[in-house]
Structure 1
Amino acid sequence: MNRSIRAVALVCMLLLVVMIGSLTRVQVIARDTYVSNEYNKRATYEMKSVQRGAITAGGLVLAASEKGPDGFFHRTYPTDLTAYGPVVGFASDIYGLSGLEKSHNAVLSGKNLGTSVSGIRNYLSGKPTVGATVELTLNPQAQTTAYRMMAEKNFTGAVVALRPSTGEVLAMASTPSYNPALLADPSTARDTWQELTTPPLAENKPLVNHATQIVLPPGSTFKVITTAAALASGRYTPESRLTAASSITLPGSTATLENYGGEHCGPEADTSLLNAFQRSCNTAFAELGVAVGDKDLVSMADQFGVTDTYDLGLPYQPGTVGDLSQDSVRAQSAIGQHDVGMTVLENAVVAATIANGGVRMEPHVVSRVQAPDLSPVTVTKPKELSRPVSEQVAEQITQMMLASERFSGGRSGLASKTGTAEHGVDSRSSAPHAWYIAFDPGKDVAVAVVVENGGDRGREATGATVAAPIGRAVIAAAETVPAGGGQS
């Protein structure tokens, strides 16, 4: 008898363990899968039962909620948000949430506003929950300029503009993009999703934020970091002499590295660091990278945030530097090739750090979160992350970047560096990525641009001809914003 009871008890215990395991898998391990499943009508019901908070930028309402005849709230995007798509994201009955709509869902849906004054008042009075407003640092004029200049030529790539003194993101445009309204509307969502996720459009990743998720070789823009490592070591000045040869053999190998177009870097056998920088001489910087050493170069890249992950509320892929212990590898890495990779945001941070006197600020795209009663839920304050170089070194590099902009025939008063990055298996025959990083020393604005795979110029593309005009236009548009304009 006792044996039978023990057997039944054991079976019951096993069933209980199985049940708990099953519930744990459903409720915890596989929770996100079920929540985002298009057949999960409960999640859709909950999202549409609450007046979701707005997303705004510079006084412009980017996303709002309106109550329909069916009694539910529907996400609306009052203007064509294609320029903002990968940043704002979408709130879809079918495909769930993305971008800031996803990362800030708790405040937008009012779920974590229970301790706010308005949340307590609504609870006590029985009023329905209303979500908070998320205010962005983006400047509409700079944002639309960045997107328009990329989209008009069907470029794939991204533009980021920052305020160096605070880290505010003034523009973050990614192309190709999408209109969130078409994914929020059930009548157009499936056809739009099909178009975005199948070739040929899918090949250029319209649902990916090219500013934060795509890591590319930065080419000669990385020479800013190489220069910073050299000057910070105390062993170099802008007048230090480097090779002016048109090509060199990489140390410890038979491979050669040459300047763009096979040009000599000046009339003599050697040249100054300043001249090598403004002419973007690969041979001089390969020599410099070998001499600086792997520890100093890796350390400087880290201090500039190349391998950091920023918490922007957006999907993010950190850059790479690679193993620089071999001289031949370091020579290539010093000019932004080999295993060096950066996002556009990271390169914008590099320019902004030099512009800010050598102080790297944390980039942020959300200025504040405001409860329905207008009380602040959170306010983003400027945060210093590191000081890669001294103010003196930052000023030396600024002067070199001013010379670089003049040499390329650019806009007077801008400090810049271009980059033309080879990539692929047959890198010398590839259509290079065209880069441009710059800042206006007097206006507290920095920018980074990449046009992937040469844009409309293919193998003939350079950073100066393809990316630079976009960067200059975005800086001009962003300069109309007063300092601190993202946090009104």
Structure 2
Amino acid sequence: MNSPIRRIGIVAAAMFCALLMSSTLIQFVQAKELQDRPGNRRTLLASYSKERGSILVGGTAVARSDEVDDNFKWQRKYPQPQLYAPVTGYYSFTYGAGRGVEGSYDDLLSGSSDRLFYRRMVDVITGKPPQGATLELTIDPKVQKAAWDALGNQRGAIVALDPKTGAILAMVSKPTYDPNVLAGHDLPGVSKAWTKLSTDKSRPLTNRAIGGDLYPPGSTFKLITTAAALESGQYTPESVLPGPAALDLPQTTVDLPNVDGRPCGPNDKTTMAHALQISCNSAYGSLGMSLGQTKIRDQAHKFGYGQAVTVPMRVTPSIFPTNLNQPQLAQSAIGQFDVRATPMQVAMVSASIANGGREMTPYLVKNVRDKDLDVIDSTDPEEFAKPISKDTAGQINTMMQAVVEAGSGRKAKIPGMKVAGKTGTAQSAKGALSDVWFTGFAPADNPRVAVAVVVEDGGTMADEASGGVVAAPIARKVMEAVVSQ
């Protein structure tokens, strides 16, 4: 055999081996990865040949699949679309499963999960049509509706938790969207709807309760500064702090003023308990500088700042900045400067105080059921952290009750019941309208619900808004929806 023929034979053999290795890699090694890739049209088309599992709230389907007479065979429907869109997400032939429970539990809803393997085998043997699992959520429909109605046409978000278990009782984000327009079988229409939603400047596809650009938490962060002070052993609720009308900050000509422009007590002095009650900026700015950034950052981290949480959707980690100078530290101690948080994180802080210092991991899916509605998996409450002692939690609980009873959170009062809370008003940028907050829990002596409310740009009151005026009444309605049951 001459050398040219030999070389051609070697090249052909090498190409054959490469082809064999490539096909093996694709068909066996990468098969599952390629099949699970979002937007895989072949996989999506196959999934439409069987009934996708429902998503239930209070026993009623908020997402279901109806049989239809077209090539897709099944049509995904969302009976209360805007109310539950941040929770359910969407299921689309063009854009896959995303944004909410639809995306996070796609394998179970579609029936492709390994946990359903034996049930699929039984269906094959018995000739039963395949079907995905059904998810039962922790959402309380009464609380969800109360939160939705209370927020009205304002932009913002609400989270309500069971502080003893971490179960999410309500999750509302506005503006929202209708997932039915993405689940349709008119593919050009779906594409048009997606373009409109994804380019909308109000960001309706963003679940503001757990993600997006995050918010400065404002004075709700004073709960963390308070916790850091009490946990340090150097302060008690009756410790005296400076409380001038404006705190003279070092290294700058800019002062840190109180909202009302007045001192927080006689002779420019106040106690920590009173400072929290009236939300005294100068006292907490001074306290923050005295504690130091390490103590405050460590306390924030213990509550969950900077940590990953899934509910099952990923919650964007909240942020406490690093390398602060003294003026920046004073601002950060009152939840300004570059501090950023999700409503979920703020609700978790209140829930841990309500639960005696035990912070539970928030969760949204209570049970997974097969097509016969037999439970095949359930979520057990799990401790996320213990950021503060029981004694510290009790002291902050009492201080938060004073906020509602005689301080900045009076509009969160529920007649005949002890309520704990904290207001917040925060600027996200110089000259911008303030985002307003309320977080708290009820009943304060036996908590059943912890809540966080944020309303963007002051809501309908714009530059006249404050957390106590706008957000506190919203939180009260959400808490009432729980405690009245």
Question: Cα–Cα, structure 1 residues 453 and 29, in superposed 2: closer, same or farther, change >3 Å?
Answer: farther
* Separation of aligned partners in 2, 1:467 and 1:47: 43
How far apart are residue 385 of structure 1 and its match?
A: 1.6
Matches within 5 A, 1:89-488: 89-98=89-98, 99-112=100-113, 118-150=119-151, 152=152, 154-187=153-186, 189-198=190-199, 202-214=200-212, 215-406=214-405, 407-408=407-408, 409-410=410-411, 411-412=413-414, 413-424=418-429, 427=430, 429-440=431-442, 441=444, 442-481=446-485
Q: TM-score, normalised by structure 1?
A: 0.90
Q: What secondary structure is seen at the aligned counterpart in 1 of 2:120?
A: helix
* Separation of aligned partners in 2, 1:396 and 1:251: 31
Contact kept? 1:239, 1:274, Cα under 8 Å: yes
How far apart are residue 286 of structure 1 and its match?
A: 0.7
What's the CA shift string for 1:354-400, capped at 9, x where partnerless?
Answer: 00001110000011111123332221000012111111110110111
* Separation of aligned partners in 2, 1:420 and 1:173: 20
Q: What secondary structure is seen at the aligned counterpart in 2 of 1:203?
A: coil
Q: What secondary structure is seen at the aligned counterpart in 1 of 2:440?
A: strand
Question: Cα–Cα, structure 1 residues 25 and 335, in superposed 2: closer, same or farther, change >3 Å?
Answer: farther
* Separation of aligned partners in 1, 2:238 and 2:423: 21
Question: Cα–Cα, structure 1 residues 421 and 115, in superposed 2: closer, same or farther, change >3 Å?
Answer: closer
* Separation of aligned partners in 1, 2:132 and 2:124: 13
Q: What secondary structure is seen at the aligned counterpart in 2 of 1:260?
A: coil
Contact kept? 2:50, 2:74, Cα under 8 Å: no
Question: Cα–Cα, structure 1 residues 324 and 241, in superposed 2: closer, same or farther, change >3 Å?
Answer: farther
* Separation of aligned partners in 2, 1:84 and 1:66: 18
How far apart are residue 315 of structure 1 and its match?
A: 3.9
Contact kept? 1:216, 1:341, Cα under 8 Å: yes
Q: Could you tell me which amino acid in structure 2 is paired with residue 237 of structure 1?
A: T
Q: Could you tell me which amino acid in structure 1 is paired with residue 421 of structure 2?
A: S
Q: Could you tell me which amino acid in structure 2 is paired with residue 430 of structure 1?
A: A
Contact kept? 1:332, 1:338, Cα under 8 Å: yes
* Separation of aligned partners in 2, 1:114 and 1:240: 56
- Give ranges in structure 2 of 5+ residues lacking alignment: none
Contact kept? 1:217, 1:422, Cα under 8 Å: yes
Q: Could you tell me which amino acid in structure 2 is paired with residue 70 of structure 1?
A: D
Contact kept? 2:245, 2:268, Cα under 8 Å: no
Contact kept? 1:114, 1:120, Cα under 8 Å: no
Q: What secondary structure is seen at the aligned counterpart in 2 of 1:144?
A: helix
* Separation of aligned partners in 2, 1:311 and 1:114: 20
16-25 or 384-393: bigger deviation: 16-25
Q: Could you tell me which amino acid in structure 2 is paired with residue 398 of structure 1?
A: N
Q: What secondary structure is seen at the aligned counterpart in 2 of 1:274?
A: helix
Contact kept? 2:66, 2:77, Cα under 8 Å: no
Question: Cα–Cα, structure 1 residues 34 and 235, in superposed 2: closer, same or farther, change >3 Å?
Answer: closer
Contact kept? 2:355, 2:447, Cα under 8 Å: no
Question: Cα–Cα, structure 1 residues 260 and 33, in superposed 2: closer, same or farther, change >3 Å?
Answer: farther
What's the CA shift string for 1:111-166, capped at 9, x where partnerless?
Answer: 1256566333213223221111111000111111212222x3x2111000000000
- Provide the aligned length of Structure 1 versus Structure 2: 471
Q: TM-score, normalised by structure 2?
A: 0.91
Q: Could you tell me which amino acid in structure 2 is paired with residue 125 of structure 1?
A: T
Question: Cα–Cα, structure 1 residues 20 and 148, in superposed 2: closer, same or farther, change >3 Å?
Answer: farther
Q: What secondary structure is seen at the aligned counterpart in 1 of 2:266?
A: coil
Contact kept? 1:324, 1:330, Cα under 8 Å: no
Q: Could you tell me which amino acid in structure 1 is paired with residue 289 of structure 2?
A: V
Q: Could you tell me which amino acid in structure 2 is paired with residue 83 of structure 1?
A: L
* Separation of aligned partners in 2, 1:48 and 1:182: 17
216-225 or 80-89: bigger deviation: 80-89
Structure 1 equivalent of residue 79 of structure 2:
79
203-212 or 406-415: bigger deviation: 406-415
What's the CA shift string for 1:156-197, capped at 9, x where partnerless?
Answer: 110000000000000000101112222212345344334323
Q: Could you tell me which amino acid in structure 1 is paired with residue 227 of structure 2?
A: A
* Separation of aligned partners in 1, 2:331 and 2:11: 66
Q: What secondary structure is seen at the aligned counterpart in 2 of 1:455?
A: helix
107-116 or 167-176: bigger deviation: 107-116
Q: Could you tell me which amino acid in structure 1 is paired with residue 285 of structure 2?
A: A
Contact kept? 1:416, 1:439, Cα under 8 Å: yes
How far apart are residue 268 of structure 1 and its match?
A: 2.4
306-315 or 330-339: bigger deviation: 306-315
How far apart are residue 91 of structure 1 and its match?
A: 1.0
Question: Cα–Cα, structure 1 residues 69 and 418, in superposed 2: closer, same or farther, change >3 Å?
Answer: same
74-83 or 140-149: bigger deviation: 74-83
Structure 2 equivalent of residue 55 of structure 1:
55
Q: CA RMSD in A?
A: 2.5
Contact kept? 1:430, 1:459, Cα under 8 Å: no
How far apart are residue 262 of structure 1 and its match?
A: 1.5
Between the aligned residues of both structures, percent identity stands at: 37
Question: Cα–Cα, structure 1 residues 260 and 367, in superposed 2: closer, same or farther, change >3 Å?
Answer: same
